[in-house]
Amino acid sequence: MNEQINWPEERKKLLWQFIVKEKIKQQAEIVKKINDQQAYDQLIKLYDQVLPFDSSNNEAVAARLYFSAIFGSKFSRDCPCNENAVLNYGYSILMSFIAREISVMGYVSELGIWHCSNTNPFNLACDFMEPFRPIVDNKVIHIIRDYDQETFQKVFKREIVKIFNDKIIVNDEEQFLGSGMRNYLRRGIKFLNGSCDSIFEFKLIDSEDDGLTL
């Protein structure tokens, strides 16, 4: 905990910059897959402009653009709808997985880098899950597309956990999602501790689309 408390502020600022850039890059690749070139170009522009600690708040700007592109201009993350039901369930799975890995490594998830709510026991997990959210989004697009309303309610939880059957390429190595997330987390912790100076980028091997990479 002393080590975690004493992570240098400059390292935390740079790590959050890396995390936000990776998240926006993944979002851009998803809108590219649905042939929204305009949204893709705008997201790439935001990606290039992310500053340390995302001081210009490009993450929020990208999120509004991104969700409008994939779910329509009337979509809101606050509305009660099928999309949000699956998104929230999928995000909670990601957060739980990363929180467990943080605990295994001996750190505490309450102490985050950017997320710092006094009422959130998973601040650090919320930080590290951000680049992987678009993997859930990608799965949700397929679930919404493939099931009617009645069937959707019966199968969406079962379908969303299948994200762990997906593979990602991390550091030029193909890994199942869980292993890739674990390695990404460990790399991030090493960066905060000053043991390395870069963070892995990753690509999703999308089993829903005949092995095309995001």
Contacts by 153-159, CB closer than 8 A, 24 or more apart: 156/82, 156/85, 156/86, 156/89, 157/89
pLDDT, tens only, 88-146: 999 999 999 999 999 999 999 999 999 999 999 999 999 999 999 999 999 999 999 89
- Tens-place pLDDT, residues 27-54: 999 999 999 999 999 999 999 999 999 9
Pick the closest to residue 208 from 151, 131, 155, 137 (CA basis). Answer: 137
Q: Per the structure block, which two tokens stand in for 211? A: 């092995």
Tell me the mean pLDDT in the region 60-86.
94
Q: Are 33 and 209 in contact (CB under 8 A)?
A: yes
The answer, yes or no, to whether residue 210 has pLDDT greater than 60, is: no
How confident is the model over 152-174, as pLDDT tens digits?
888 999 999 999 999 999 888 99
Query: Residues near 33 by Cβ (< 8 Å), separated by ≥ 6?
Result: 209, 212, 214
Q: Which domains does the chain have, with CATH numbers?
A: 2-213 (1.20.120.920)
pLDDT at 213 over 60: no
**Which DSSP state fits 34?**
T
- Which tokens is 72 given? 């329509």
One-letter identity of residue 96: S
Total-model pTM: 0.92
